[in-house]
Amino acid sequence: MTSTEAHTEGESHGNGSHEGEASPYLELSREAWADLAHETVSPLSAEELERLRGLSDRLDLTEVEQVYLPLSRLLSLYVSAAGGLHREQEAFLHRRTPPRTPFVMGVAGSVAVGKSTTARVLQQMLAHWPEHPNVALITTDGFLYPNAELERRGLMQRKGFPESYDRRALLKFVVDIKSGKEEVEAPTYSHLVYDVVGDEKVVIKSPDIVIIEGLNVLQPAGVRGDGRTGLGLSDFFDFSVYVDAGTSHIRQWYVERFLRLRETAFRDPHSYFRKYAALTRDEAVAEAERIWDTINGPNLTQNVLPTRSRATLVLRKDKDHSVRYVRLRKI
């Protein structure tokens, strides 16, 4: 672990470094970050927020206004700057300016950390800024290999690990977006049946912004058999967010979410996890902890957490799910 990564696991010092130590990151406390939203009104109502809130997230309008409103404004500035750079480059090349390709951002983080909620809130808030009303959100779950293929490869117990995804298809999807294709399709995933839905597609048409959310979106490119390094998904990102928290907190959130699902979605007769609905509370806690300790926890420490330093911005959460500080890479 690098000194930068070790610091992120510890306490915030307000400026992204230990006293007297230079850092490529700017770190702002919750209070300092919230001050940036002082003169901006949140575009989301309480009803819209409730629809966006994740199953286990303690997310209210205050959190949206103090954390996500400044972030949405910063992202909007990045989008505008990318458009200006595009025009300048085309002028430099003496080319007639074609439409700019979509601004692509990644949202990464552990299972149960709240990255899906972060992605949904950002999608809605960014779409409220008039400069870019068409904001698409894609999750990488749809690019998991189907269960039958995972079984064939012996990967069912490693679902969510990098090797369980069709990385070639996912990379092609992002390349098509960044190539300026007007219409791009992505596969869909059902958490109810715990599998890819082969006959359903998500179609995005001429988006201004595309948000790609998933566990491993910040994974670096792998080395090919011939020794060459290929392209990674994040090579095509214009901005990336990592939703972070202490591992012990995330583990507890996962158990809490499992218990809620046991009372709700797991009771659906079509649910892949229907067998868990009959567990006692103690049995459910033990099963959730087993799943975390054998699958989600190892995936976090081995694959997801090491990509944190690759993010443009880190949202560090406290044990109550509130964002404690924000860490932004300097430019």
Spatial separation of the C-alpha atoms in residues 159 and 229, rounded to whole Å: 24
Q: Are strands 209-213 and 103-109 parallel, antiparallel or unpaired?
A: parallel
| 29 beta partners | 325
Is 169 assigned to a binding site?
Answer: no
Length in residues, the chain: 331
Is 111 assigned to a binding site?
Answer: yes
Is 317 assigned to a binding site?
Answer: no
Is 114 assigned to a binding site?
Answer: yes
Is 112 assigned to a binding site?
Answer: yes
Structure tokens that stand for 115 in this block: 């990255």
Spatial separation of the C-alpha atoms in residues 330 and 22, rounded to whole Å: 12
- Residue 322 burial (10 A CB sphere; 0-12, 13-18, 19+): middle
Nearest to 118 by CA among 62, 54, 75: 54
Is 314 assigned to a binding site?
Answer: no
What's at 128, amino acid-wise? H
Is 115 assigned to a binding site?
Answer: yes
Is 23 assigned to a binding site?
Answer: no
Annotated binding site, which residues?
A: 109-116
Annotated binding site for ATP, which residues?
A: 109-116
